[in-house]
Structures are given as C-alpha cells and as structure tokens.
Amino acid sequence: MIEASTILKGNAFQVEPEYAERLEELLALCRKNLRSVDEELIRKAFRVSYWAHRNDRRASGELYIAHPLAVARIYVDQIGFDDIGVAAALLHDVVEDTELSLEFIRETFDEKIALIIDGLTKISGAFESRDISKAENVRKLMLSMASDIRVIFVKFADRLHNMQTLDSLAPHKRFRIASETLNLFAPLAHRFGFNALKSELEDLCLSAIHPEEFQEITSELRDTQRERDAYVARFIEPLKARLLDEGISFEMYGRSKNLHSIYRKMKRQDKPLSEIYDIFAIRIILEGEGTKGKEDCWRVYSIITDLYKPMTERFRDFLSVPKSNGYQSLHTTVFGPEGRRMEVQIRTREMHEIAEKGVAAHWKYKEDIKSDDQEMDRLLTWVRDLLEDPESESAAEFVTDFRLNLYDEEIYIFTPRGDLFTLPSGATPVDFAYLVHTQVGFHCIGAKVNGKMVPLSYKLKSGDQVEIITSKKQTPNPDWIKFVVTQKARSRIRHWINEKRRQAQVLGKESWDKRSARAGLSVTENELARLASKLKFPNLQQMYFEIGSGLYDVNDLVKYVRSSLKEGETTKENEETLRLQYETFLDSAQSTGKPALLIDGELHSDIVTDYATCCNPIPGDSVFGFLSRTGVIKVHRVSCRNAPNLILNRADRIIPVEWSRQKDVQFVAALRVMGEDRVGILSDLTQVVSKNLKTNIRSITISTDDGVFEGNLVLFVSDLEHLRRLIDRIKRIGGIHGVYRFEEQSDES
C-alpha cells in the first residue's frame, strides 16, 4: 500500500501544468466565495486525487482529475458551503474508483472527511444497482445526508457535472441518469433552495429527455430575444430614473424562467410558447442590507405601482413570510407599457444569494456560527422526519409523496393564536391537523376557517386562519385518504386503516375458528383459502377481514363449507386432500400391548389410556391426552382432525402426555397405497412388508379399477420410525405411485 507521504512529497510526481492551473483557479474562487479557506487542505486533497486517478481518463479523453476539479468548482461556485466540502469534492470518486481505501483517507485527512467520502461512496453504490427500488435510493440518500449535509451538497455538484457531460455517455444511460436527476435530484435541490443549480439540472434534463421540445423553446426564445430586450428597456427606463432619484443602489434586469418550467407551463396549459405570458420577469436586486434593505424593497414596490398599475391578486409577499426553503422576495405583476403584463421580483442582494444558493448562502451572511448550526439542525430534522416515518409504504408511494411535497407551491396557514404553519397547496384541514399534532389529526371532527365551519375536505388558501375541532370519540375516516395531500397525514391515516384492517382480520379468524369447531368442521388453511376464492374473495385474509368487520356472516361460511365437504369438493388439489378422496372407515383398530405413555411427565400404571381411533397415534407422533367422560385418557395426534375442536372447546380436559421409550409395544397404523394394477403387485407388497420388514399385517383390502390399483393396509408398527421405513420401502416397489398414512374421520372424542 502506498504511503501518504510518498504522494504528498513535492517531487514524487509531476502535475500537468494545465491541471495545476485549474487548481489555482479553484483556489482563487474559494478565496472569493468562502468565508475561510484552508489552502493546504485543498492542495493536499488535489494531490491525492490527482495521483489516485493518474491512470484514468474521462470519455472526452481528458485526465480523470478534470472531473473532480469541475465538481469542486461547481461546489464553490453554486453551493459555496465550506472548504471541507471542496476537499471532499476533489476526493469524491477516489475510494470508489481507485486503489486508495477509506482507511487511507481517514489517516491522511481526518474522520470528518472520511465520513463524507464514505457517504458518497455508499450513495453512489445505491444508484448503480439496478434492482434497488427508487424509494430505497431516496432513503439511502436521506440516510447519508443525515450523517453530514456535505454528502448531498457534493453529490449535487457531482450530478450537475455528470449532466453537463452527459453527451459522452451511451443514449440509454443518458436517459436513465436524466430521469433520475429530474425525479430526485432536482426536487431535492429545490428543497434546499439551490435554485440556480436546480434550474440548470432541469434544463439539462429537458435537453436529454425531450431534445426536440428543448430545441423549439430555445430557438423561439432566441428569435424573440431582441423584441423582448427592447420591451424590457422601455419598461425599466422610467423606473431606473425614479430609483436613482431616490438614491437607491440596485441592479435591474429582465430574465426568463428556465426552459424546463416554460416547458411545464406549456404542457399544463396546453398552449404554444407565444401564448404563455409569464415566462419572463424583471428582477430588481437592492444593495441595502438588513432592515434597511427590507424597507427599500417596500419603497421600490410603491414606486413601481406608482408607475404601473398592479394586478392585486398576483401580489406575493415572501418578504414577511419566507418559503420553507428560505426564499424571500416581493412578487408583483403589473401592467407595463402597451398594457402588457410583467412580473417584477424585488429582493435584497442577500435574499438573492439565498434564492440562488439556498441554505448554503446563510453561512455567508450570518456572522454568528451558532445560528448556522441551528439552520443545519433544522434541515437535518427535516431529513430525519422523512426517514423516521413509521410506515414502510410501497416504493412508488414514497417517491410520489416525496416529490409532491417538494415541488408544490406552498401556502401559509395560521392557528387561532397566530402561529404560522407552511403547507403544500391543496392541503386540507386534515393535513393541517396532522401537521399540528398526530393526536389532533387523529381526533379531528371538524374545522373552522376564518371563523366559519368548513368540510374537512376544504382546500385551504394562504392566509387562512384554521381552527381544528376535536373529539375524543372521533377516529380517522378512511375517506380522508382521498383528499389529504401531505405525506404525514397520508401515512398516519394509512397506518390507522391498516391497523384496523389487521384487527378485523384477527377477529374474523377467531370467529371462524370458534364457529367451525362448534360445528365439528375441520378444514385446513389451504382448503379454506380455496373455498374463499370460490366465494370470490381475492384471498383468505380478505374473507377474515369481511367476517371480522361484519360484512360477511360467518354462519353462511359454515353452511357453505359443510355442503362443499359433503359434495367431496375438498379434493384433487394436493396430497393432503388426495387423502380424503380415498377415505374409508377403519374398523375399530386397537393397539396391542400396554400403553407406553407418560402422563404429565410420569408413568401412571393405574390410569387407563387408550388410542383414539380417529387418528391412530403411534410413538413418535406429537400427541395430547383427552380425558373422556368415562375417565379414560384417549390419546390423539396433535394433527388429528378433531384436535382443534377438543382443544378449543374442552380445554379443561386436555392432559399433556408424551411417549416413553418402551419398545415392546405395537400400534396400529393404516396406509393407503396406490399404483398401477399389474400382475404380482399384491404379492410384492406383502413380500416387502412381512418378509423384508417383518411387519405384521392386520388386514389388507385392495380394489382395482380401470388399471388403477388401490390398497389399504392396516399394520402393527412399533413407532413412527418403523412406519417411515415401511413407507419408504413400499414406495420403491415398481408401479407404486403413492403411499400415505391415513386415518378415518369420526367425531369421537
């Protein structure tokens, strides 16, 4: 194994000048964007990565180090969190793709960086394996994030560079990576507020997945560019003059929405690009900071609405109430020159940075490191909440819920006390109730919105004041699942429904067991499942559920089972039922010799025992004793058809018994033998049984029908082992196809 010192020595190997230069550019960018920069750390990470990847090349032909360098650059540029993340970005593929181990990283750097690299290696593995469901990927991603937020930050940067260089991949790979990016990474990036990064990811996805539409939108935007620029200039001119008069320093420009959201709008409204009006906005960024900056925003707003008439219904104040990802801005739509509608976004430089770079920008502006940690905590809590959702839902549901919760517009809801909650749009009072507290959701019975009673399915609007009315007696209504939109409400309600369902199934089964035992019916689970499907239940559990919840009368089932047993319906399916087909009653077979039983663990010569003729137990069978009215203990096999009935209804008479080791006693066992009706088969059978295995035959009855041979043998055996040997041996006789132990069916007890 290579020593770190060897790699880090200045003269150990030469870095090509081109890449040395890119490293210097990266460092310069770090000094510009990061609060503090440990240059030594970054140089060290670069050297280790350069050496580790020295023999690898990208599909483009460049040295592989170009990729980690680009990822680190994106990280500094778009996320700009800290220098540890930059070092991790440089090292992100080292453990996965080269001979260097995680141990090496830990020793050469430190525990923290090793942890990040470990997380990155693990999620990379999660995405490569095809058979892992998408939800599982999401969970892994979340878990890795929960260990260190930089894992996901570096992963974002890595993914963006992979998307930027997608062309060098095979088309089918391109598509897979692009759709994964669109469905998972873009929404996640949005949740963290990395808007610039999210927009670029989405546009690259659009170009990969719908190249024609992408081309169309791009060229149409280009064609109308000049006209649009001219209009923006006309719009801005009077505004600029006023702002300068007021002594406000600002930056102002027109900007179109990203291509992907234009594409989405076209799809949603089913209109061509020329008819979509809000693809374009004027953005005003104010240089004032803090309270002054905020005040400036309102001043600018009032100047704009002096000049141009606003559409009041399209006013949005994200200044007083930021979005949950930290986004702050004032949005207003006004009628500009020629009466054309134009959206204007007003924000301070700091708000702008947060809008573009999300959470990571907080660190740049907040002086107090502690409050940064709180922000980090808030994010990690959010991640953990998602992870610790008690319901393991189906993969598809998890991903869908997750995506909906990320992408949808948010609304702001107040409690009667004035506390603020953020919900996705379309949320109902039930969603709100679950958000406030699981118990509030559980017991909610009605809701008042702005003082008026509304149905629980009512769609809340931003600014609504919501009061939830609860009742101790109320429990969730399964119908709620149809209208709730939050993951939390949906999963809690689903959990409750499943729990209810499970309870009803248990109840239904109990009721069937009791009722069928009383009716003296004995049906295996398999047979019952078959009957359930004849009755058009999708499965046995559904039948139990319907019995348990009163939808299906257990007495009807008993009647049905009884009549189908009579008709001999329970046949032909498997060996178990095959046995029934050949059912004959065995004459009251008696065991010879004395009982060889321990009763309650002891030998009792004074207690009379007998072997039940319904199941003819032999030593080795699991058995129990049943105290009959005459004081005789009858021994039954546990698998006896009458056992459930006896155990359930006469539990007080059940006596534990077990076999003692006495060998000199013989028991009756009955076998059914089936095969081809050929000459000599009977003599072969008796030969094997009586001569080879020295077994006494009590009786043999045979019948033949259309070339098929059936025989019932009643034999004396000493124990189960003896019986098994017999069965094995008989099976090997030519022409014999089946040998089964069987017993008669009778209701004796």
Query: What is the closest distance, in whole angstroms, from the C-beta atom of residue 168 to Mn ion in the complex?
Result: 13
Q: Which of 77, 96, 391, 677 is catalytic?
A: 96
Pick the closer one to Mn ion by CB: 93 or 743. Answer: 93
Query: What is the closest distance, in whole angstroms, from the C-beta atom of residue 20 to Mn ion in the complex?
Result: 21
Query: What is the closest distance, in whole angstroms, from the C-beta atom of residue 28 to Mn ion in the complex?
Result: 23
Pick the closer one to Mn ion by CB: 156 or 192. Answer: 156
Query: What is the closest distance, in whole angstroms, from the C-beta atom of residue 177 to Mn ion in the complex?
Result: 12
Pick the closer one to Mn ion by CB: 93 or 719. Answer: 93
Pick the closer one to Mn ion by CB: 101 or 475. Answer: 101
Q: How far is CA 287 from CA 238, 239, 291, 292, in A?
A: 20, 16, 12, 10
Pick the closer one to Mn ion by CB: 145 or 517. Answer: 145
Pick the closer one to Mn ion by CB: 48 or 334. Answer: 48
What residues are paired with 700 via a beta bridge?
713
The DSSP line for 120-179 is: HHHHHHHHH-TTS-HHHHHHHHHHHHHH-HHHHHHHHHHHHHHHHTGGGS-HHHHHHHHH
Query: What is the closest distance, in whole angstroms, from the C-beta atom of residue 201 to Mn ion in the complex?
Result: 15
515: tokens are: 């009722």
What residues are paired with 252 via a beta bridge?
284
Query: What is the closest distance, in whole angstroms, from the C-beta atom of residue 362 to Mn ion in the complex?
Result: 26
Query: What is the closest distance, in whole angstroms, from the C-beta atom of residue 390 to Mn ion in the complex?
Result: 35
- Comparing CA positions, the residue from 208, 187, 338 lying closest to residue 277 is 338
Q: Is 96 a catalytic residue?
A: yes
Pick the closer one to Mn ion by CB: 124 or 542. Answer: 124
d(CA 488, CA 150): 26
Pick the closer one to Mn ion by CB: 42 or 517. Answer: 42
472: three-class secondary structure by DSSP: coil
Query: What is the closest distance, in whole angstroms, from the C-beta atom of residue 52 to Mn ion in the complex?
Result: 13
Query: What is the closest distance, in whole angstroms, from the C-beta atom of residue 357 to Mn ion in the complex?
Result: 21
Question: For the window 602-631, what string marks contact with Mn ion as x by the rule CB under 5 A?
Answer: ------------------------------
Residues in the chain: 749
265, burial (CB in 10 Å: exposed 0-12, middle 13-18, buried 19+): middle
Pick the closer one to Mn ion by CB: 93 or 213. Answer: 93
Terminal alpha carbon distance of the chain: 77
Q: How far is CA 183 from CA 178, 263, 400, 554, in A?
A: 9, 16, 9, 48
Residues in contact with 529: Cβ distance below 8 Å, sequence separation at least 6, in sequence order: 539, 540
Q: Give yes or no for a contact between 330 and 347, defined as CB atoms under 8 angstroms apart.
A: yes
Q: Restricting to residues 138-167, name those near Mn ion by CB under 5 A.
A: 158
Q: Is 728 a catalytic residue?
A: no
Query: What is the closest distance, in whole angstroms, from the C-beta atom of residue 47 to Mn ion in the complex?
Result: 18
Contact status: 213 vs Mn ion (CB under 5 A): no
Taking CB atoms, the residue at the shortest distance from Mn ion is 158
- Comparing CA positions, the residue from 265, 281, 252, 400 lying closest to residue 341 is 281
Q: How many residues bind Mn ion (CB under 5 A)?
A: 2
143, burial (CB in 10 Å: exposed 0-12, middle 13-18, buried 19+): middle
Q: Give yes or no for a contact between 371 and 475, defined as CB atoms under 8 angstroms apart.
A: no
Question: For the window 34-73, what string marks contact with Mn ion as x by the rule CB under 5 A?
Answer: ----------------------------------------
619: three-class secondary structure by DSSP: strand
Spell out the SS3 assignment of 252-265. EEEEECCHHHHHHH
455, burial (CB in 10 Å: exposed 0-12, middle 13-18, buried 19+): exposed
18: three-class secondary structure by DSSP: helix
d(CA 426, CA 460): 7
Q: Restricting to residues 583-602, name those near Mn ion by CB under 5 A.
A: none
d(CA 93, CA 321): 40
Pick the closer one to Mn ion by CB: 158 or 546. Answer: 158
115: three-class secondary structure by DSSP: helix
Q: Restricting to residues 86-105, name those near Mn ion by CB under 5 A.
A: 93
Q: Which of 38, 97, 136, 684 is catalytic?
A: 97
Residues at the contact surface with Mn ion, assessed by CB under 5 A: 93, 158
Residues with a known catalytic role: 96-97
